[in-house]
Amino acid sequence: MHISGQRVLITGAAGGLGRATAIELARRGAKVVLSGRNDLALKELAIELDGEVVLADLEQSADVFRLCELMADIDVLVANAGVGSDAQLTLDREAIDGVIDVNLRAPIHLTTEFSRAHIDAGRPGHVVLIGSLSGVAASPSTSMYNATKFGLRGFALSFRQDLHDTCVGVSLVEPGFISEAGMFANNDIELPAGVRTKKPIDVAVAVADAIEKDLGEVVVAPIELRLASTLGGVAPGLAASVQRRLGVADRKG
């Protein structure tokens, strides 16, 4: 699907990876619709990119369903919004529900409504879900983030199969550690020696490539992190032992 001229809704567009993605897609000719909670940041970016703003808090079901009503008029959905705060064993019910609402429930609702509207109209469209390597391999102190990203990966890969031979494509973009912006950069995490990072523009380019080439799953990470996540996926017990030896839990936050 060509990006130029398409109307693209990006959730979590006020900063971080969402902002970088909006800038890259606008550079490629997209008409960007910026969604999030930070009114001022969204309006400033909209002026810069000649875009639109739709305020929405994805923890609020009314806001999610209001976004769902826009799906018929959107050509591409980039479900980027996410929260990553985890407090080991001290999460209360409200915090647990909030992470599930933003990271999993909202993107599922938006994706299914987008797909239904486009298939009913016979109109081509594409969905990009922003996952994480935390949806491939588990790590300590991030149980809810892992849970929601594992769930998002399962949904994306299964739903892509369901939509085979329809006019709607689904892609999953999975960043590793990203410098300069996003949750990793904001949480001051110390990486083990030899582990490198990628930049927000790398994620933005991956999103654009996924749309234009209808890619199923795109990992944005250096080779050593890809190998580590593969190990974590196929041998979680061994990966957990390695992480304990490296003191991964002590490096977080």
Give residue for tokens 């994306």. Answer: 156
- Give the pair of three-digit tokens for residue 216: 């199923």
For this structure, is 243 an active site residue? no
3-state secondary structure 34-79: EEECCHHHHHHHHHHHCCEEEECCCCCHHHHHHHHCCHHHCCEEEE
Q: Check 145, 150, 155, 184 and give the catalytic one.
A: 145
Give, as one character, the DSSP assignment of residue 191. P
- Give the pair of three-digit tokens for residue 183: 């949750």
Cite the DSSP H helix spans in 50-174.
61-68, 93-100, 106-121, 143-162
- Count of C-beta atoms within a 10 Å radius of residue 23: 18
Dihedral pair phi/psi, residue 218, rounded to 5°? -125, 120
Packing angle of the helix pair 236-246, 223-234 (nearest 10 deg) = 130
- How far are the Cα atoms of 82, 207, 245 from residue 213, in angstroms, in the given order? 25, 10, 40
Q: Give the residue numbers marked as catalytic.
A: 145
